[in-house]
Amino acid sequence: MPTISVFYGEFCGTDAVVRELAARTGLEPITDREVLADAARISGLDTHKLEKAFCSATSVFNKFTHEKERALAFLRLAVAERLGSESLLVSGHAAHLIPREISHVLRVCLIAGLKFRVARAADERGLAEKEAIRTIGHLDQERAEWVRALRAVDDPWRPDLYDMVIPLDTTAAAAAAVLIAEHAGAPGLNATAQSRQAAQDFLLASRVGVALANEGHNVEVSTRDGNVLLTINKHVLMLSRLEEELKAIVAPVAGVRAVETRVGSGYHQDDVYRQFQFETPSKVLLVDDEKQFVQTLSERLQLRNMGTAVAYDGESALNLIAADEPEVMILDLMMPGIDGIEVLRQVKRTRPAVEVIILTGHGSEADRETCMQLGAFAYLHKPVDIEVLSQTLKDANARIQQKRRERTTGR
């Protein structure tokens, strides 16, 4: 029996199909939950951070952190290791992580018309029609972004992406399971030497991808019979040095015979290759209504390998934090609307892990005492020496990393 992958739209009744199919075939069901758990074990990252890779929204800090690409590297390895058993039932977003070159996989899409899905949304979640349509549209958009990132196509339900597309508004769950099981028995889906080699290539490419991600690198990886090709798609000033560093990381990975590097089609675009720097904070939010000052400060910190984003008032800062949690915030006190002390108070109440550095030109000793009592990491005055600020940011990052280690070890 080959592996079966099932990608689906929400509110189509897919759970019943997957359960029936597992019972009929005896295949081990692997859902996104299992893949996320495996990826969390491999990476040491929280599952909710890994799960963000499935979402359409990309962090404003992603060009500095490579969070989405790093999460993908660990998710790919989780799937690649599972595929060693050859006979699985993989359902959810993870279905599209399996490369097309692995031919002993029956690729299935389960979908239904909007009217059917709206009715199920009402039954399952009690959603009114307009809310159901809005929710389904949002979920479909996330799936479209996911498939676009992996397959470079805009329509996640395109028939040529799958071996079977089954409409569940006209096909009962049991009948769909029977149909899939029958097709899975076709001789053309038996594992061949070439298909098994493709699975091994996928596993090696995934291991290489994780080795690079663990060192803060993000490049395209392909493998064939132990030969690794690394493609650099962003401009870098010292290309030869980067190539040597990448080769040094990849060469010791078990199974690698040779490593080759090249520049890709994106190399000559107006973008710069950035290695993720673990020793410096990569998600720094600057909050100050002095636009020229804060933009200049942002640029100076970026030159020191720190990822930054900017907000010009307290309300915007709180909205950004709610959507995309930074690691460190540099916060002015005197701002129109919500002032810095209130922002600090709300951040420490809702996002206590965020370290907040106060940077103000108008604060008093009473303000300093209030801020420190509310949980500020440091209280600095303008104008600040950039090296002093940089060291304070590194110290804040060290505290963040220590807390993460304590959570991981339970101490």
What is the pTM (predicted TM-score) of this model?
0.84
Domain(s) labelled CATH 3.30.1340 in the chain stretch across 193-263
Helix (H) or strand (E) holding 28: strand 28-30
Question: Residue 309, Cβ neighbours under 10 Å: how many?
Answer: 18
Selection from 124, 107, 96 nearest residue 11 by Cα: 124
How far is Cα 143 from Cα 132, in angstroms, rounded to an integer? 16
186: number of CA atoms within 13 Å, CB side? 14
Domain(s) labelled CATH 3.40.50.2300 in the chain stretch across 284-409
Contacts of 407 (CB under 8 A, 6+ apart): none
CATH architecture assignment, domain 3-189: 3-Layer(aba) Sandwich (3.40)
Map tokens 């636009």 to a residue.
Answer: 291
Map tokens 């929400």 to a residue.
Answer: 10
How far is Cα 137 from Cα 129, in angstroms, rounded to an integer? 12
Sign of CA dihedral 31, 36, 37, 43: positive
The per-residue pLDDT string of the chain (411 residues; one tens digit each, 9 = 90 and over) reads 899 999 999 999 999 999 999 999 999 999 999 999 999 999 988 898 899 899 867 888 888 888 899 999 999 999 999 998 668 999 999 999 999 999 999 999 999 999 999 999 999 999 999 999 999 999 999 999 999 999 989 999 999 999 999 999 999 999 999 999 999 998 888 889 999 999 999 999 999 999 999 999 999 999 999 999 999 988 888 899 999 999 999 999 999 999 999 998 877 776 777 777 777 788 999 999 999 999 999 999 998 889 999 999 999 999 999 888 899 999 999 999 999 999 999 999 999 999 999 999 988 999 999 999 999 999 999 999 999 999 999 999 999 988 877 776 665
- Fold annotation for 284-409: Rossmann fold (3.40.50)
Domain(s) labelled CATH 3.40.50.300 in the chain stretch across 3-189
Selection from 42, 173, 159, 149 nearest residue 96 by Cα: 149
CATH architecture assignment, domain 193-263: 2-Layer Sandwich (3.30)
